[in-house]
Amino acid sequence: MTTLIACGGSNDNSSSSVFGVVQIIDQINISGEVVGQRGFVTANYSLLTDELLIELYHSHISGTGFNFFTIDFEDGTGYVFPSSRNRFTHQELDWEGAGINTVGAFGFIYEDRIDWIN
């Protein structure tokens, strides 16, 4: 099952011009059983700011219990948040949006800042 959730505001400087619609997708094991959910959204990397990333994290990732959440930059890479934690990594993505290879920095999101580790 896929659930769609609107993300962001309505003006050109808001997250709605940066992010697509957040999708919640069931994770299914080899036996066909639902074993969790993952979140997924596309994003325009060139317009992404720390402030918008923090807003997305607090509104759609933190505390959700997702197995993982992916922000897909539609270039084969994206930020992957394992287990809805405040840690994320810039990774090459597989067909499902899971990270398969670290390609850039990672960071930790707090209430009002990101600590970037290069």
Question: Rounded to the nearest 5°, which phi and psi values hold at 11?
Answer: -100, 170
* CA dist 18 → 32, 63, 92 (Å): 34, 22, 20
pTM of the predicted structure, to 2 decimals: 0.85
The stretch 92-112 carries a mean pLDDT of 93
Show the CA angle centred on residue 17, arms to residues 11 and 23, nearest 5°.
120
Which residue carries 């990774």 as its tokens?
Answer: 91
11 band by pLDDT with thresholds 50, 70 and 90: very low
Domain ranges of the chain: 2-117
Encoded amino acid at 59, one letter: S
C-alpha 117/C-alpha 91 separation (Å) is 14
Cα separation, 76 vs 47, whole angstroms = 17
Instruction: Kindly report, residue by residue over 13-57, the tens digit of the pLDDT.
Output: 556 679 999 999 999 999 999 999 999 999 999 999 999 999 999
